[in-house]
Amino acid sequence: MQTLFQQLDTFLTHTQNYWRFEPFHHSAEPALPWSEPKLKEWLLGLSERQIETFKAQPDTLIEQLAPFIANLTDFHTLTALHKIQHSAPELTAIEQGVPGRKYDQVRLMGGAALAHHHGSEWLEWCSGKGYLGRVLAQNSQQRVTSFEFQQALCESGQADADALQLEMHFIQGDAFDGASQAVFHRQQHAVALHACGDLHVRLMQYASRASLSAITLSPCCYHLIEDETYQPLSQFARNSALHLSRSELRIPLQETVTGGERVRRHRFAEMSYRLGLDELLRYELSMEQYLPVPSIKKSQLSAGFEAFCQWAAQQKQLSLPEVDYAGYQQRGEQRFWLMERLSLVQQGFRRLLEMWLVLDKALYLNEQGYQVTLSEFCDRATTPRNILIHAVKSG
């Protein structure tokens, strides 16, 4: 893992101009962030349909990018994770109504934790209503402590667990309050399904301090941190020249499970309207900086581009001159497609950046005396945040 991390770190440092930019903002300038004319030619030659296809098929995209970016495929191969093998339990303890993808995530992560269980009880960190904890309590007959911030979720999770006669105990608390360390005990196996940013960092710190038997977590939302930049945990990452900003920590999350045609249409309308308005403000009002406009209800978009501009102007207390709205809408749409083209190149690095972040966590746990394995607990269609960090206390 150390060698892999260092190789990946060097690769990402050398290839920064391919991924270290914001396609939304960069598309305002004519210059591309890199100099390879062949990559530019390929990118600008793609049809809108091809762009959509490559966006939806990350593996095909990487094959396409390979001739332009040396070693890109090698690093994807080197960092590819195996799918964890286990028989996922049936979930009689989960009520109907849990959305399909969530149901699968809970079932598959529960199965993985049960198959590699160490310890005599469980700690479910940032549990929500405790779906994962229910699977563990039901299938291991061991006590589960579910720690959660929202009182309402604790109450409803406790009521459901009691009704199912499961040995689950909810504790309401704040992960950022040092007092929460009191819930950690050596004999526990801690689990966390999709604990965001600093929340999973706290889990690793508290759990290793208390020498827990095992920790199984799937990280997500790397950008939800208090600091402006990523605070590396392991010695190796602390020595890295990469200092990731909060907005760069969003890059791995930009691969979302596609929401279908309607979501795609809304996104096109909203982004191209925002970019069209940016063009209008730059050319008509000489604004040099992008003006952030608040989020808008999807239903409002159907009123069209001009109505969007008027609404945004009202929000920002601006008065707009009479302009050729159709022309600016068209410019917004052109910028949308340029943004999408640039995003394809950045997309080739998403998983590698995520692996850099995950390897940092794995190395940190290793430094704390844990044997760490990395795997995928489900396929990407179930959730792109499918990486499982499993750590077992050595000795």
Q: How far is the CB of 99 from ligand SAM (least distance, A)?
A: 10
Give residues 235-274 in contact with ligand SAM (rule: CB under 6 A). Answer: none
CA distance 225 to 385: 17
Question: Cβ 132 to ligand SAM, closest distance in Å?
Answer: 6
Q: Is 387 in the site for ligand SAM (CB under 6 A)?
A: no
Question: Could you tell me the smallest distance in angstroms from the CB atom of residue 62 to ligand SAM?
Answer: 28
In the bound complex, what is the minimum distance in angstroms from residue 259's beta carbon to ligand SAM? 18
Q: Is 134 in the site for ligand SAM (CB under 6 A)?
A: no
Residue found by looking up tokens 């022309």 in the block? 327
Distance CA 145, CA 130 (A): 9
Tell me how far CA of residue 16 lies from CA of 11, 37, 349, in angstroms. 9, 17, 10
Q: What distance in Å separates the CA atoms of residue 26 and residue 338, rounded to the nearest whole number?
A: 9
Least distance from C-beta 128 to ligand SAM, angstroms?
3
Q: Does 137 bind ligand SAM (CB under 6 A)?
A: no
| Binding residue (CB under 6 A) for ligand SAM from 12, 43, 193, 357 | 193
Nearer to ligand SAM, 126 or 359 (CB): 126
| Binding of residue 175 to ligand SAM (CB under 6 A) | yes
Provide CB contacts within 8 A for 373, sequence distance 6+: 390, 391
In the bound state with ligand SAM, the residue whose beta carbon lies nearer, of 193 and 342, is: 193
Q: Give the number of residues in contact with ligand SAM, rule: CB under 6 A.
A: 15
184 is an interface residue for ligand SAM by CB under 6 A: no
Shortest approach of ligand SAM to residue 86 CB, angstroms? 18
Give the shortest CB-215-to-ligand SAM separation in angstroms. Answer: 14
Residue closer to ligand SAM (CB basis): 25 or 209: 209
Q: How far is the CB of 110 from ligand SAM (least distance, A)?
A: 11
24 near ligand SAM, rule: CB under 6 A? no
Note whether 94 binds ligand SAM by CB under 6 A. no
Q: Which of 105, 130, 133 is nearest to 189 (CA)?
A: 133
Report in angstroms how near the CB of residue 272 gets to ligand SAM at its nearest.
30
Within 215-234, the residues that bind ligand SAM by CB under 6 A are none
- Min. distance of Cβ 112 from ligand SAM in angstroms? 14
Residue of 110, 111, 128, 219 that binds ligand SAM (CB under 6 A) = 128
174 binds ligand SAM (CB under 6 A): yes
Q: Which is nearer to ligand SAM, 194 or 361 (CB)?
A: 194
The binding track of 142-171 with respect to ligand SAM, each residue x by CB under 6 A or -, is ------xxx--x------------------
Q: Specify the residue, 151 or 394, whose C-beta has the smaller distance to ligand SAM.
A: 151
Of 335 and 390, the one with the shorter C-beta distance to ligand SAM is 390
Residues of this chain that bind ligand SAM (CB under 6 A) = 126-128, 131, 148-150, 153, 174-176, 193-194, 196, 199
